[in-house]
Amino acid sequence: MKYLLEPNDLTIREIDELIEIAKDIIKDKSRYQEAAAHKILATLFFEPSTRTRLSFEAAMLSLGGSVLGFSEASSSSAAKGESVTDTIWTVSCYSDIIAMRHPKEGAPYVAKRRAKVPLINAGDGGHNHPTQTLTDLLTIHREKGRLDGQTIGFVGDLKYGRTVHSLVKAMARYEGTKFVFISPVELRIPDYLKEDLLDVKNIEYKEVTTIEEAIGEVDVLYMTRIQRERFSDPEEYLRLKDSYVLDLKKLENSKPDLTIMHPLPRVNEIAVEVDDDPRAKYFEQVENGKFIRMALILKMLGLENKIERLDKTEIHSVINPNTQDKKDKSNTVVNVHKCNNPRCITTIEQELDHVFYLADEETNTYRCLYCETKAE
Ligand code: CP
């Protein structure tokens, strides 16, 4: 496995295996403390982070490896105008594996072209966040014992929330998944997920505007923050920022075994009174992030079989056969369309061609290869 840019770069079997390894690590962490000795992880964070960067670093240190990197673009030569491509090419000379976060959507697809070592997308703008997805899948698996047959309610900023986009892509691959999207009209999930995935694959979903409309039917309630940094209009952010605040009253009609998740950071969308409720699992989710990243580092470095597992039982998730094919992005046109997404990597990497792929033959829809924005 040379790169992880979006969740569906992994097969279901690979995800099952990562969950198996993470659970084995949880059983007895001490066995893994030298598993990645002498290996170096580079964490390149062009955008702020607490959990993703520190859990990656804690994961590598817990495997006996070392870490280097930067936590803000201003302390790297990006501040002098160095391109993403040159940064990655350079850091490939100093490390065995790279985790990169960038505010521009599609940046990892550009970085991949010059990465000489395994590359992990640690979040690209409002687009994807595949290692948060792995964290979320491990959390759901630990809570429910399986990934199929779940009804998931996503709440909040579903337009800019990259954790939502990635988890929708991932959960759509399991049999019996149903989605409830709870958001203000302005922050509904992007069309590309509805049109290219949910509608064409006949996956059940509905869009509502209040938590109360859906609380009784969901197995997992996935809260998200309204993403201030993605809004071009600050007035719109101020109007929408307090759209949802989950408190114990709103949870009164939930299923007793509801799992409440949040990728964090939270601002005020979950009242602190919920934190000690047995349904609240967002800090368990934080800890799971370290274990699944340990598993991912081992797998991407080809070290996953170095430690004998205590429990050799394999997980075999029940899949939706309609959603197993990988998106075909091979039918492309170059510099015919121009991406109009102000958050796309093409807006800052001047030498990049504007490449669009044929997303739907029937409607002749083309989408940007980097950020998936539809061609005008
Ligand atoms: N969940 C997540 O990505 O958190 P950070 O922004 O703190 O890394």
pLDDT in tens, 170-179: 999 999 999 9
Residue recorded with tokens 């000489």: 116
Is the pLDDT at 1 greater than 70, yes or no?
no
Segment 159-176 shows an average pLDDT of: 95
Calculate how far, in angstroms, residue 361's C-alpha sits from the geometric centre of ligand 1.
36
Cβ neighbour number for residue 14 with a 10 Å cutoff: 15
Ligand 1 centroid to Cα of residue 74, in Å, is 19
Alpha-carbon distance of 326 to 130, in angstroms, equals 15
Name the band, by pLDDT with cuts 50, 70 and 90, for residue 326. confident
Of 75-79, 87-91, 290-294, 295-299, where does mean pLDDT reach its minimum? 75-79
Q: pLDDT by residue (tens digit) across 45-78?
A: 999 999 999 999 999 999 999 999 999 999 999 9
If you average pLDDT over residues 75-98, what whole number do you get? 96
**C-alpha torsion sign, points 179, 183, 189, 194:** positive
CA proximity to 161, closest of 139, 144, 143, 136: 136
pLDDT value of residue 102: 97
Ligand 1: does its nearest atom lie under 6 Å from the Cβ of 263? Answer: yes
| pLDDT of res. 109 | 95
Confidence of residue 347 (pLDDT cuts 50, 70, 90): very high
Q: What is the pLDDT of residue 240?
A: 81
pLDDT value at 195 more than 90: no
Any ligand 1 atom below 6 A from CB of 49? yes
Q: Which atom of ligand 1 is nearest to the CA of 50?
A: 7
Does the pLDDT at position 335 exceed 80? yes
Supply the DSSP string of 78-112, one letter for each residue: GGGT--HHHHHHHHHTT-SEEEEEESSBTHHHHHG
Average pLDDT for 8-18 = 96
In the block, which residue shows the tokens 């988890």? 167
Residue with tokens 């990597």: 345
Instruction: Give this prediction's pTM.
Output: 0.95
The pLDDT of residue 303: 97
Does residue 313 surpass a pLDDT of 80?
yes
Q: Is the dihedral of CA 14, 16, 21, 22 positive or negative?
A: positive
Size of the chain, expressed as the number of residues it contains: 376
Pick the more confident residue, 238 or 142.
142
Substitution candidate for ligand 1 out of 43, 44, 47, 52 with most atoms within 8 A of CB:
52
**Contact by Cβ (8 Å): 303, 295:** no
